[in-house]
Amino acid sequence: MISLIKLAREGKIEKTGAKPKLPIKVEGVSSETLDVYRIPLEYLYYNDKNGRISTGIAEYENQLNPTSDLVDPSYNNLVAKIIENINPIALKRTQKSIEHAGQQVYGWILDDGRVIDGNRRLTALRNIHAKSGRTVYFEAVVLPFSYNNDSERVKIKQLELAIQMGVEEREGYDSVDLALDIYRTTYGENPIMTLADYANISHMTKGKLEDYRNGAIYMKKFLEFIGAPKTSYSIIKESKTWTQFQVIGKTLSTEFSNDPESQVRKNETMESFFGIILHQMHVGVVGNTARNQIRDFGKYIVKTGGSVEFNERVQDDIEDLAEAIQDAEIVDYADLSKELTNQTEVIAEFGDIYNTYMQDAKNGESVEKFIKSIRDNVKVFQDLNERNGLSGNLRYSEVSTKQLKELQRYMRDLNIASKELFEKYGKEYQ
């Protein structure tokens, strides 16, 4: 494994003369001890732990060996293609800028060549080299850290967050990538910092981070529910369903306790939510409409206690649908869409039950709102009567005879209308 710091000491890579500024305080390094170097591209490789990149290469995780082009260029070639596909317009813009004026913003890399910040600039430089054949260099700060050291891994992540999301306020993450990065960093198999630490560095609120992390949890559970590979996050991205999982996470985390019985109901409700998402995919409901449907199900069914009955009604349909999709061994969104088409009858049956429950729940709320408005109006007149017929600090000496007669007329009209309505309501339930 190469050491860029050693190569610098040996004079094999040169300084640009620029002095970097650390975006946050990090123990063991300071702006005074760091320099920006001109580094040959063959010494560098993309960071497989980067939030955006790790999601893109997740499906290849057991087939890739992150390494520089000196060892094997296939890894960098694959990641470069992923970066280009994420935002080809931005990459072309960066490449054109570098061709015209050179690299204007330095990157950040580790001693072994792992790129912490500057993936798009590196990709643009690789393209320029491939296109022109010219020798080009990546200008970057070399940090004396390694991912092989657990304590240094925390420092690396702190710097990555500060550079890409916090102090530098760079281009925002894709929501799925961000959610998974928060999940892996604070909650996954090997968390390296607390949610509070992540919030402090990224300039995001802890509550927002919890929403993202909970969304990631149920996004992963959904992939398991449909039997897809656990790294098939492209299904979520292509179906544009991320916001639904964020709402699901928020609803389930607040509406159920940790006792065993509540957890059983929570799991059943989770699968009902998944059924709604599959129904949405099949009928083409996306965007704000899809998110609002999930939110309304939480509001009108889950929060009112109606989910127990609903879950029982749709249980067979959900089990049949999940089993069929699992048997189809889907790996991407195209596979899932095809199998949903094959299951049109089951989805239609689920959709009929779902639509009926939602319509009844919303109609019930409309009736309750109407009754509440009547009750509130009645209370206004009851309070008025208790105050001797006037509101606030008004006195009868301030009311003219004409105004008193006007008030009498209104009360007469109200009395007539209330008697007629009283009789009308009585006839309706007899």
Q: Is residue 195 part of a domain?
A: no
pLDDT tens column, 126-155: 999 999 999 999 999 999 998 888 889 999
CA nearest neighbour of 185 among 209, 220, 211, 221: 209
Tell me: do 260 and 333 sit in the same domain.
yes
C-beta of residue 20 within 8 angstroms of C-beta of residue 35:
yes
Q: pLDDT band for position 188 (50/70/90)?
A: confident
Q: Is residue 203 part of a domain?
A: no
Torsion of CA 299, 300, 301, 303, to 10 degrees: 40
Q: Is residue 208 part of a domain?
A: no
C-beta of residue 250 within 8 angstroms of C-beta of residue 211:
yes
Tell me: do 22 and 143 sit in the same domain.
yes
Tell me: do 299 and 421 sit in the same domain.
no
Q: pLDDT band for position 171 (50/70/90)?
A: low
Give the mean pLDDT of 197-216. Answer: 94
Q: Is residue 194 part of a domain?
A: no
Q: Is residue 354 part of a domain?
A: yes
Give the mean pLDDT of 215-224. Answer: 98
Q: pLDDT band for position 168 (50/70/90)?
A: very low
Across the chain, what does the average pLDDT equal?
92
Specify the pLDDT at position 307: 94
CA 382 → CA 209, 392, 409, distances in Å?
Answer: 49, 14, 18
CA angle 352, 356, 360 (to 5 degrees): 175
Number of domains in the chain: 3
CA 69 → CA 42, 44, 129, 414, distances in Å?
Answer: 5, 7, 13, 86
Tell me: do 287 and 149 sit in the same domain.
no
Tell me: do 94 and 161 sit in the same domain.
yes
pLDDT tens column, 280-298: 999 999 999 999 999 999 9
Query: If you write DSSP's letter for every residue of 102-138 in order, what string do you get?
Result: ---S-EEEETTSEEEE-HHHHHHHHHHHHHH----EE
Residue at a domain's end among 319, 342, 369:
369
Residue at a domain's end among 150, 168, 186:
168
Residue at a domain's end among 104, 135, 168:
168
pLDDT tens column, 351-401: 999 999 999 888 877 777 788 888 988 998 998 999 899 988 889 999 999
Q: pLDDT band for position 50 (50/70/90)?
A: confident
Q: pLDDT band for position 164 (50/70/90)?
A: confident
Q: Is residue 204 part of a domain?
A: no
Specify the pLDDT at position 151: 84
Tell me: do 394 and 423 sit in the same domain.
yes
Specify the pLDDT at position 209: 96
Tell me: do 263 and 323 sit in the same domain.
yes
Is the pLDDT at 315 greater than 80? The verdict is yes
The domain of 81 spans 1-168
Phi then psi dihedrals of residue 397, to 5 deg:
-65, -20
pLDDT tens column, 420-429: 999 998 988 8
Percent of the chain with pLDDT over 90: 74
Specify the pLDDT at position 169: 44
In angstroms, the CA 72 to CA 46 distance is: 12
Tell me: do 355 and 391 sit in the same domain.
no
- How is residue 301 annotated by DSSP? I
* Residue whose token pair is 């105004």: 403
Q: Is residue 143 part of a domain?
A: yes
pLDDT tens column, 231-284: 999 999 999 999 999 999 999 999 999 999 999 999 999 999 999 999 999 999
pLDDT tens column, 326-337: 999 999 999 999
In angstroms, the CA 402 to CA 170 distance is: 70
Tell me: do 65 and 146 sit in the same domain.
yes
Is the pLDDT at 299 greater than 70? The verdict is yes
C-beta of residue 18 within 8 angstroms of C-beta of residue 106:
yes
Tell me: do 158 and 224 sit in the same domain.
no
Q: For 302-309, which contacts have Cβ atoms below 8 Å and span 24 or more sequence positions? A: 302/251, 302/255, 302/269, 303/251, 303/255, 304/361, 306/357, 306/361, 307/265, 307/268, 307/269, 307/272, 308/265
Give the mean pLDDT of 14-39. Answer: 89
In angstroms, the CA 258 to CA 252 distance is: 11
pLDDT tens column, 400-412: 999 999 999 999 9
Is the pLDDT at 167 greater than 70? The verdict is no
Tell me: do 109 and 37 sit in the same domain.
yes
CA nearest neighbour of 277 among 330, 329, 347: 347
Q: What is the CA radius of gyration of the chain?
A: 31
Count CB-CB contacts under 10 A for residue 392: 5
Tell me: do 163 and 40 sit in the same domain.
yes
- Outline where 233-332 has alpha helix (H): 234-239, 242-255, 260-283, 287-297, 307-327
Percent of the chain with pLDDT over 70: 98
Give helix 287-297 / helix 242-255 axis angle, nearest 10°: 10
Does the global pTM surpass 0.85? no
